Structure 1
Amino acid sequence: MPEDQKPEKNAPARRTPGKGAGGRQATPAGKGLGGSSAAGKGAGKGPGGKGGRTRPQQAVVAKPKPWGLIAAAVAVVVFAGAVIGYAVYAVNKSKADEITAADQIQGVQAFDYAAGQEHVTTNVSYTENPPVGGPHDPYWADCTGTVYDINIRHENAVHSLEHGAVWITYDPDVVSSDDVQELADVVEGNSGLMLSPYTGLATASDLNTPISLSSWNHRLGVDSADDPRIQQYVDFFTYGSDADGTSLYPEVGASCQNPDFAANPLPADATSAPIGESDAPTTDSAAPATEATEPSTDPAATTTN
């Protein structure tokens, strides 16, 4: 090496840039002992996380409204309102249709047989056919919703009317079996009602209808078993009373039960026989029906139209 290129004595040794003592690279700015960087640990830290990573902000999503439940609730409220509204309508209509007087049933005939008619053991020639009052047998026909298959003795049936029963009759030669069954459905099992055939009702009676409903002092003739007046008559006249509470029949509280008569009914052409229990003494015979049981007014004049 030429002299002029030899290092001067006592000149400080050159250091490689970026290296410290011992030939190690100098610690970059911001690094501390051990080669760890302050910026590496702390720099970049934020509210979102550690290690310099920022946690992404989550978007707030509104929950969908439960439209199905809301619709169902509205439907329930509407349905309940409809039910309540119909119930109120039905009650009001029922009150409007309620019969409170005999003359509200179209076609009802009214008569004037006094209470306490005599009990007799002879047959009676009744003015009305079917009868609605007058002398009658001391033994009443069972009227506990009884359906008879024969034309029962009229004198026993009239006694049942005195006890508050409604007697429904039909002409067996005119009324169909289906209509008979419809009438039986009205009667069967309902206290205060009885049903029987009545020969000649449609042609040989003064009523001249195939179906008749009789109670004490009242009667109605109809042409078919589905006539709504049948139920009206039954509802009003069975153990019935007027709007003011006046009873429509003489013997209030009297029994309709006579199981012996129900088991062995007397036919229309039979004579009197002791069947069941009697509730009053009897006489041997009755005055002619035209004298003892004549209505005070002409039935046609008291028929409601």
Structure 2
Amino acid sequence: MGKDQEARKDRRASGSSRSGGRPGGRGRPQASVVTAQRPWGLIAAAIAVVVFAAAVISYAVVQVDKAEAMRVDSVEEIDGIEVFDYAAGQEHVSSEVDYDQTPPVAGPHDGVWADCTGTVYEVDIRHENAVHSLEHGAVWITYDPEVVSEDDIALLAEVADESGRMLSPYVGLDSPISVQSWNHQLKVDSAADPRIKQYADFMTFNAELFPEPGATCQSPQFLADPLVEDGAALDPDSGTSAP
């Protein structure tokens, strides 16, 4: 009888030991697990940056492709261009010259050149001074002020905004727009015509196509007080030829 009681005590003691000494034999509570949150905001921002960068690169590639498509390696590749054959070393004159082309592309000219450092004139500059600029390698963009709109003039000004180029109205022009350099001319109907920039990019300071490579386009005195073609004064209010 005494042995049975001792055996029961031993079993209770053993059970208490296995349960960690806690009443009722319960085990340790399970530790709670915290799941890490994904940084969705940062992921979305990174994706947006990648998409934007891809769009910028794609746009740049398209623009480069367009520029490359319009690039020419010879005069003959410019559709509609006219070529003339004036010799170098033309005479300097102070009198008016009766030019064969309108606008003129070469020939005798004034000893002072018109400033052609990306200059945008609001007057029909004296043609003899403009021709001297062509001799220096400039591209002269002209437009009929009674036909071409302000928006179109702004487009032309963007092309002219580079050293070696100038823009001016030309009263009585026989086409809406005419672009000329020494011995070359291109007439177009629209300021959006891509040949304007094509012509300007190829002709500006092209040393093989004008008589005086290295000559400057800077003419501060003319820039400050441009000479106006006789009989071609513009109405300052309307921008068209005065009666």
Displacement of 1:56: 6.7
User: Residue deviations 1:188-218, cap 9 Å, x none?
Assistant: 5x3212222212113xxxxxx1211111111
Displacement of 1:148: 2.2
Give the Cα–Cα distance (whole angstroms) in 2 for the partners of residues 173 and 93 of structure 1: 32
User: Residue deviations 1:249-269, cap 9 Å, x none?
Assistant: 221111111111122222223
Stretches of structure 2 that go unaligned for 5 or more consecutive residues are 232-243
Stretches of structure 1 that go unaligned for 5 or more consecutive residues are 1-17, 19-25, 203-208, 242-246, 271-305
Displacement of 1:161: 0.4
Larger Rg: 1
2:193 maps to 1:227: yes
Give the Cα–Cα distance (whole angstroms) in 2 for the partners of residues 256 and 223 of structure 1: 28
2:227 maps to 1:261: no
Larger relative contact order, structure 1 or 2 (CA cutoff 8 Å, min sep 6) = 1
**Residue in 1 aligned with 2:6?**
30
Normalised to the residue count of structure 1, the TM-score between the two structures is: 0.62
Aligned residue pairs total 229
**Would the alpha carbon gap of residues 173 and 68 (structure 1) be closer, same or farther in structure 2, given more than 3 Å must change?**
closer
**Would the alpha carbon gap of residues 67 and 28 (structure 1) be closer, same or farther in structure 2, given more than 3 Å must change?**
same
More displaced 10-residue stretch of structure 1: 50-59 or 151-160: 50-59
**Residue in 1 aligned with 2:238?**
none
**Would the alpha carbon gap of residues 30 and 73 (structure 1) be closer, same or farther in structure 2, given more than 3 Å must change?**
farther
Give the Cα–Cα distance (whole angstroms) in 1 for the partners of residues 63 and 189 of structure 2: 28
More displaced 10-residue stretch of structure 1: 220-229 or 152-161: 220-229
Give the Cα–Cα distance (whole angstroms) in 2 for the partners of residues 263 and 157 of structure 1: 15
More displaced 10-residue stretch of structure 1: 75-84 or 100-109: 75-84
**Would the alpha carbon gap of residues 176 and 68 (structure 1) be closer, same or farther in structure 2, given more than 3 Å must change?**
closer
**Residue in 2 aligned with 1:194?**
166
2:211 maps to 1:250: yes
Candidates 119, 132, 138, aligned match of 2:105: 132
Displacement of 1:77: 9.6
Normalised to the residue count of structure 2, the TM-score between the two structures is: 0.76
3-state SS in 2 of match to 1:42? helix
Give the Cα–Cα distance (whole angstroms) in 2 for the partners of residues 227 and 60 of structure 1: 73
Candidates 113, 138, 153, aligned match of 1:165: 138
After the TM superposition, list the runs of 4 or more consecutive aligned residues in structure 1 that deviate by more than 4 angstroms. Answer: 56-61, 63-78, 80-90
- Structure number with the higher helix fraction is 2
